Amino acid sequence: MYRTRWTTRLEVGFSQPKAPEESGKELKALGTHIVCELSGCDAAKLTDVDAVRAMMENAARAANASIVTTAFHRFQPQGVSGVVVIEESHLSIHTWPETGYAAMDFYTCGDHTDPWAACEYAAEALDAKTMLTTEVKRGIEAGHNRFTHVVTTENDTRELLAATA
């Protein structure tokens, strides 16, 4: 299980939305994009293109997303890149088995999906020791026919079962 240790929020764009607590409104975004760095992953899992594909499809299902298609490639001598196209956007991965590292993106639109569920599923499935994430709330109305985004950085550290037993 991953727990947030600290969070910082950086608002970017040509027109800044007010923070929800300032405006009295909930920040409404068209989509949520999570950029995820997984470290200390199982190298064998990062090398197996079929296992990575299955894990990413299961992560999409964990997010309650509808899969449209997938494309995955295994590099020689190692590493996998792939994307799961979902009706709500996409999930992508690139792996470096030699370092135990996976770079992932989880981007979903709509109120019925949970990209965090996909992110946490992938971290568990790859036996990641640490997870560093940046969340981007995208498609925030900033004026007539103008949109912006808000970036939130979270540092998550895995709490090992052995440490809590």
The pTM (predicted TM-score) of the whole model is: 0.80
49-62 and 115-125 helices, crossing angle to 10°:
150
Q: Do residues 91 and 118 lie in contact, with contact meaning Cβ atoms separated by under 8 Å?
A: yes
Is 23 inside any structural domain? no
Verify whether residue 89 is a known catalytic residue.
yes
Q: What is the CATH number of the domain that holds 86?
A: 3.60.90.10
Is 132 inside any structural domain? yes
Question: Of these residues, 33, 36, 41, 94, which one is catalytic?
Answer: 94
pLDDT digits (tens, 9 = 90+) for 1-52: 544 433 444 444 444 444 444 454 567 899 999 999 999 999 999 999 999 9
pLDDT digits (tens, 9 = 90+) for 46-94: 999 999 999 999 999 999 999 999 999 999 999 999 999 999 999 999 9
Nearest partner of 62 among 16, 18, 120, judged by Cα: 120
What is the number of structural domains in the chain? 1
Determine the structural domain holding residue 34 and report its residue range.
2-15+28-164
Is 21 inside any structural domain? no
Question: Of these residues, 89, 90, 92, 144, which one is catalytic?
Answer: 89
Q: Cα–Cα distance between 102 and 26 in angstroms, integer?
A: 33
Verify whether residue 39 is a known catalytic residue.
no
Is 81 inside any structural domain? yes
* pLDDT value, residue 152: 77
Is 22 inside any structural domain? no
Is 40 inside any structural domain? yes
